[in-house]
Amino acid sequence: MDFPFLSAIMLAPGAGVLVILFLPPESNRAVRWVSLISAGISLALTLYIFIAYDAAAGGLQFVERSLWVKSLGIYYFLAVDGISLPLVLLTSIVFFTGVWTMWDLKDRGKEFFALMLLMVLGVYGVFMALDLFFLFVFYDVSLFPMYPLIAIWGSTRKEYGALKLTLYLLAGSALVLPGILYVYFQSGVFSFDLFEIARAGLPPAVQSFGFLLFLFGFGVLAGLWPFHTWSPVGHVAAPTAVSMIHAGVLMKLGAYGVLRVGMTLCPQGLMEWSPLMATLATVGIVYGAFVGLAQTDLKYVIGYSSVSHMGLVSLGLATGTLGGVDGAVFQMFAHGVMTALFFSTVGHIYGQTHTKLIPELGGMAKVMPRASFFFILAALAGIGVPCLASFWAELLVFINGFQVYPLLGIAAVLGLVVSALFMLRVVQRTFYGEKNQKFAATPDMSLVMVLPRAMLAGTILLFGLLPRLMLDTIQTGVAPLVELFK
Amino acid sequence: MSPIAADTTTTWLTLSAMVLPFAAFLIIFFLSRPRVAISLAVSLICSAIPLLVAWWLLLHNHGMRAPMVFQVLWMTGGQVAVTFGFLLDPLSLVMLVIVTSISFLVQVYSLGYMAGDPGMAKYYSFLSLFAWSMIGLVVASNLMQLYIFWELVGLSSYLLIGFWHHKFSASQAGKKAFVMTRLGDLGFFLGIIVLLLNLGDLSIIGLNSQAAAKLSPALLTTSAVLVFCGVVGKSAQFPLLTWLPDAMEGPTPVSALLHSATMVAAGVYLVSRLYPMYSASPDALAVILAIGTITMLLASTMAMVARDIKQVWAYSTVSQLGFMLMGLGAGSYFAGVFHLTTHAAFKALLFLCSGVFIHHFATNDFFAMSKMGARSLRIPMVCITIAGAALAGIFPLAGFFSKETIMGALAELDQGVWLWAGLLGAFLTAYYSFRLLFVMWLPKESHAPQAEASADAKDQAHAAHDEHGHSSGGYWAMASALIVLACFTIALGLFDKKLIDFLHWGSPPSLPHHTWLLVTAVAAVLIGVALAWLEFGRKASAQQGFLSRLPALETLFAQRWYLDALYRRLTDYVVYGVFSRLFTMNDRRVVDGAIDGVCRGTVGTGWLLSFLQSGLLQYNLFIMVLIIAMIGLYFLLL
Amino acid sequence: MDSLNTYLFIALLLFCLGLFGLLQRRSLIGMLISVELMLNAANINFLAFNRFLSPDPATGQIMALFVMGIAAAEAAIALSLILALFRRMRSIDIEKARELKG
């Protein structure tokens, strides 16, 4: 492939950062437009490669590989396959709509957008890089900007949330780095190239221990129970676009890491530790739903629902079956879009009413019908209503989960009912009921601001009605991987 | 029999019938909501076309000998393959006709009922959404496709019950309906998974032909019972029956369409669909029979004391669904399906008539209505009488024939208790229906107890608006629907031979007919009518049931046998109180506490270690000397 | 009696006494004196090795002279440090010099 699409996608935000840094501090408009344009470039290129990806051929496409450091065996290796392509698409969509959602940011916009672009660059890098060194570097690049983004522009308990989130995730990466080095030294090929190590194979003991390191190291970021408590606190504290990216994309980094690094390099480790992983995942599913029932802050509710849904992803991965991993990857995509829609809408509500507490809201459907529509759609997606993307994902995960672990499957399915209960309860208490007198005069979303949410909603509907558009691609990536788990 | 591929005309017609209502929903909801007239037109057209298609298909294929199938692979992942398509056989054709007819009639009726409501276009979009989901469910060729549309039907129900969402009770009822049916759907989903993992094929034809042969009896019964859990939820059987009476918060046409004729019948339809599989498992049939019986009796008792007209019919629906399941559970496919058909007609009619009264009098309490002069509205009164009589099972209305068929099936069983239960149910049904009818026809001025303010507030505002500009057009929209349904109620009984012939592919089993059974059943009904007359109809009656002399029983029935209280307790104490609170505290104290504890520990260790930095030179020197001594020792011993 | 080990032992003893004094004494002058003791102990070591092991008698003596010179220089600097410290703290108690406490 001649034109380096993947590098372009990744460096568009990088170029954006550079341009923004040279803009004068008061030029908010220019900053926003630069960010939107760079996000738009990334999105356009991503859509192109998504459509141009040859699902029949499968495998790695749009490969860019060159030697970086010879003595250590580091390669600049970017490529996408059926697993990472949906996630790159997810990142682009959430990035673009996230920038648009923050259009009204007045306070220190230059620093905010610069940091956000940097973070997204890191995220793109993780999804595209197939060299362990670069993967880790990009992983940390995406983590660091979270701290100032939350601590400066956040809301509820922002310093505590920012500190907790950053330290917790760094602790996770402190497990990942030894894992990477361990695998690097034990493989015997002295290359950080993921597929070379996979081809060389690792001894069973190494696989077992390595998988544990990767499972817990990446699992922290994936919201694996019980290492999930950074997530609700962080969600609540973060500003809107950061929450969107954080819950929508960042948590998928963790699951992707488990899949790409842990499961590809240490398949025997997966088979050995899969019961543990599945148990923790199922606990997360049910636990997240029950705790979500008790929350009074809208963002906490969504945060715990994220914990529950990421539990589904982990369960799908733990099954090691074709359908299960397919469902897990699809759920990563579907949940990412859905949760971005959630946070985007809540951001609007918070921006207008300055409260996220459910007891203070109520009857908002009459006050802001457009915002209500998007929230309710996202809630229905969260419940797993057919025609919305997460239904298919949940279907696959539950069926395969039950097949491999019947008891856990039954417990997980129980989560369906509890999640319906708490989602509908939130919807009812926030939006239904008598028209809210306190906020009766707050404006609804303008048509311009409806568009990003409509993009997200449209994505959920599109892949809900036509799942094969995504699932066929995912399957080409997952099928060769699952062969390792037989 | 092996299926044949559907021919092109049939395929196109059926697919258009399946897709048009969805198109209507999208158009109305996203595009034409501000223009009510356009929305109405779109909705009615996209409802009329499936109606015509359904009737054409039925009449065209009335002699069909093999089912017609069409399907397209919609999604595949691992061993899961979901297809989208249709399966046309006698059962689905009959049900399709029922669904599309009542859907269209309700839409026409709503022209009058919902006129002036600010959300009218949104209402029609939801009705179209429902029609789409229901049609998709009825013609589904694959159990997974059926499940998908089953869920969508539940969604439409949620949206329509909570339509007037500014009323807290309405949104509460919608939520309750959704969550309770979801509980049932859990079992359904697990049943589907079990069937999928063991059979690999979820097509309806495949299940019916192979399940009995390939699955062990235990597995067959388990999956059949699990699937039946979904039926318990959707058809509001015991113990998940309390959502249906609450669902009366929705507009009355919704109650007529969803919660009497079609959506709740989907459960019975599912059992009929998979009847060959069910009949291969006597244990599953026994479960169905038992639950159907319990539900029928329980709900009839609740209907006996209700004062709200919609509640009476809601309990009646639950009870009649139980009765249908009794027929199916007793081994007669035709009995259940026939009663489903007749019930759809007269129950929808009952609700629609009630709607006219509610609309006119701004109250749901039929005692109050009758005192306000309900019987002056001729058409609704005549129709409600026809329908009520059909419900009770009066010859020659449709309900009589279908009831007789079920009684006949019950009589064939070994244990007589089921037949006695059926007769008791018939007695109770006659009693409560005629109680209502007599009260409506013959209002008493003095002795009647005070009308409760059980009015539906929105219906009140509705009627108030209506008083100002009650267009005769609106009235005739409603009346025409009533007349059509009344005709069906009268005529359907005559089609039983044709129907059983059709349903059984031209070779129907002979139905047992016992004269003693006929006499006993008719006697039960007449006793019920007579008792109702004694208590409510006679000039000198106090219009108080015999139950008012047994207040404990009356309260028990009025409180729905305390099921609601039980569920409320369960939700509040177990779900919220135990699990939710426990997990939240665990999250905050244990998990978070551990993490915060690690942080505090780290800080504490740092604080401890900071003592090394005492600033005292001699401490540093001491440590230096110590370390040098240790290194020296190390090299010495090496 | 007149063997290398004796002298080494004496030197060790002296060194340990010096070390102990360095670590234990509160007075800066006392610490200085202890350091001198340690230096002299090293001196004795040199002289002992010079007498018993060295082929060239001059080596050890030269080392001893060097050590003495360095000790003198070091004492001068140490005393001026002590003077400077005294001017700040008004005391020669080392426990008063704590500003680098962590």
Average pLDDT over residues B116-144: 92
Q: Which of A157, A422, A428 to mutate to test the interface with B (most CBs of B within 10 A)?
A: A428
- Which residues of chain C neighbour B608 with C-beta distances below 8 Å? none
Touch test C–B: 3 Cβ pairs or more under 8 Å: yes
Cis bond before residue B396 (omega within 30° of 0): yes
- Domains belonging to chain C, first-starting first, are 4-101 (1.10.287.3510)
- At residue B452, does pLDDT exceed 90? no
Average pLDDT over residues C80-84: 94
What is the pLDDT of chain A when averaged over all its residues? 91
Could you tell me which residue, A369 or A58, shows the higher pLDDT?
A369
In tens, the pLDDT along A276-303 reads: 999 999 999 999 999 988 888 889 999 9
Hey, what are A223's tokens? 């919201």
- At residue A462, does pLDDT exceed 50? yes
- At residue B262, does pLDDT exceed 90? no
If interface means Cβ-Cβ distance under 8 Å, which residues of chain B face chain A?
74-80, 82, 148-149, 151-152, 155, 158, 162, 165-166, 168, 171-172, 174-175, 178-179, 182-183, 185-186, 189-190, 193, 196-197, 575-576, 579-581, 583-584, 587, 591-592, 595, 599
Total count of residues recorded for chain C: 102
In tens, the pLDDT along A258-281 reads: 999 999 999 999 999 999 999 999
Of A291, A326, A396, the CB nearest to B587: A291
Cα separation, A319 vs A400, in Å, equals 7
Please, are residues B338 and B265 in contact by the beta-carbon 8 Å criterion? no
Res C102: pLDDT: 67
Residue B448 — pLDDT band, cuts 50, 70, 90? very low
Percent pLDDT > 90 in chain B is 43
Q: Is the pTM of this model over 0.90?
A: no
Residue A212 — pLDDT band, cuts 50, 70, 90? very high
- At residue B454, does pLDDT exceed 80? no
Cis bond before residue B512 (omega within 30° of 0): no
Closest by CA position to A247, among listed A171, A168, A305: A305
- The sign of the CA dihedral B511, B512, B514, B517 is negative
Res B1: pLDDT: 64
Among chain B residues, CA nearest to C26: B618
Res B473: pLDDT: 66
- At residue B53, does pLDDT exceed 60? yes
Res B453: pLDDT: 43
Please, are residues A319 and A405 in contact by the beta-carbon 8 Å criterion? yes
Among chain B residues, CA nearest to C31: B618
Please, are residues A420 and B179 in contact by the beta-carbon 8 Å criterion? yes
| CA distance to partner chain B, nearest, from residue C20 (Å) | 10
| CA distance to partner chain C, nearest, from residue B626 (Å) | 12
- Cα→Cα distances B511→A285, B333, B425, Å: 52, 11, 21
Q: Is B506 left (phi over 0), alpha (psi -120 to 50) or beta?
A: left
Quickly list H helices, B362-509: 366-371, 378-392, 398-411, 417-441, 457-468, 472-491, 496-503
Q: Answer whether B155 sits within 8 Å of A385, measured CB to CB.
A: yes
Interface of A with B in 185-244 (CB under 8 A): 226, 228-230
Touch test A–B: 3 Cβ pairs or more under 8 Å: yes
Closest by CA position to A349, among listed A424, A431, A291: A431
Q: Answer whether C23 sits within 8 Å of B621, measured CB to CB.
A: yes
- Which residues of chain C neighbour B615 with C-beta distances below 8 Å? 97-102
| CA distance to partner chain A, nearest, from residue B455 (Å) | 18
Please, are residues A168 and B595 in contact by the beta-carbon 8 Å criterion? yes
In tens, the pLDDT along A65-108 reads: 999 888 888 999 999 999 999 999 999 999 999 999 988 888 88
Q: Which of A417, A434, A463 to mutate to test the interface with B (most CBs of B within 10 A)?
A: A417
Asked which of A113-117, B179-183, B610-614 is least confident by mean pLDDT, the reply is B610-614
Res B201: pLDDT: 82
- Which residues of chain A neighbour B249 with C-beta distances below 8 Å? none
Average pLDDT over residues B202-212: 86
Quickly list H helices, A222-321: 230-237, 240-245, 251-257, 264-265, 267-293, 298-319
Interface of A with B in 301-330 (CB under 8 A): 321-324, 326-327, 330
- Which residues of chain B neighbour A400 with C-beta distances below 8 Å? 78
- Which residues of chain B neighbour A366 with C-beta distances below 8 Å? 166
Average pLDDT over residues B81-105: 92
Res B443: pLDDT: 79
- The sign of the CA dihedral A223, A229, A232, A235 is negative
Closest by CA position to A259, among listed A200, A187, A331, A203: A331
Cβ-count burial C37-64 (b if 16+ within 10 Å, e if not): bbbbbbbbbbbbbbeeebeeeeebeebb
Hey, what are B228's tokens? 């039946």
Number of Cβ pairs < 8 A linking chain B and chain C: 30
Neighbours of chain C (3+ CB pairs under 8 A): B
Percent pLDDT > 90 in chain A is 62
Asked which of A271-275, B328-332, B591-595 is least confident by mean pLDDT, the reply is B591-595
DSSP B166: T
- Which residues of chain B neighbour A420 with C-beta distances below 8 Å? 178-179, 182
| CA distance to partner chain B, nearest, from residue A16 (Å) | 36
> Which helix (H) or strand (E) segment is B542 a member of?
none
| CA distance to partner chain A, nearest, from residue B182 (Å) | 6
Going across the sheet that includes B68-77, the strands are B4-5, B68-77, B80-88
Of B152, B581, B584, the CB nearest to A386: B152
In tens, the pLDDT along B3-38 reads: 888 888 888 899 999 999 999 999 999 888 888 899
Res B445: pLDDT: 65
Of A164, A380, A392, the CB nearest to B75: A392
Asked which of A207-211, B99-103, B538-542, C84-88 is least confident by mean pLDDT, the reply is B538-542
| CA distance to partner chain B, nearest, from residue A466 (Å) | 7
- Give the largest Cα separation in chain B, rounded: 121
Please, are residues B80 and A395 in contact by the beta-carbon 8 Å criterion? yes
Res A451: pLDDT: 92
Q: How many CA atoms lie within 13 A of B501 on its CB side?
A: 8
Cα separation, B262 vs B254, in Å, equals 10
| CA distance to partner chain A, nearest, from residue B130 (Å) | 13
Q: Is C57 on the interface with B (CB under 8 A)?
A: no
In tens, the pLDDT along B273-303 reads: 999 999 998 999 999 999 999 999 999 999 9
Q: Which of A390, A430, A432 to mutate to test the interface with B (most CBs of B within 10 A)?
A: A432
Closest by CA position to A471, among listed B76, B81, B73: B76
Among chain A residues, CA nearest to B582: A291
ipTM score assigned to the predicted complex: 0.92
Residue C59 — pLDDT band, cuts 50, 70, 90? confident
| CA distance to partner chain A, nearest, from residue B198 (Å) | 10
Residue B490 — pLDDT band, cuts 50, 70, 90? confident
Asked which of A245-259, A363-377, B315-329, B506-520 is least confident by mean pLDDT, the reply is B506-520
Touch test C–A: 3 Cβ pairs or more under 8 Å: no
- Which residues of chain C neighbour B622 with C-beta distances below 8 Å? 23
Closest by CA position to A362, among listed A302, A435, A423: A435
In tens, the pLDDT along A128-177 reads: 999 999 999 999 999 999 999 999 998 888 899 999 999 899 999 999 99
Residue B449 — pLDDT band, cuts 50, 70, 90? very low
Among chain B residues, CA nearest to C98: B615
| CA distance to partner chain B, nearest, from residue A187 (Å) | 31
Q: Is A416 on the interface with B (CB under 8 A)?
A: yes
Per-residue 3-state assignment (H helix, E strand, C coil) for B497-528: HHHHHHHCCCCCCCCCCCHHHHHHHHHHHHHH
Q: Is C94 on the interface with B (CB under 8 A)?
A: yes
Of C19, C24, C102, the CB nearest to B610: C102
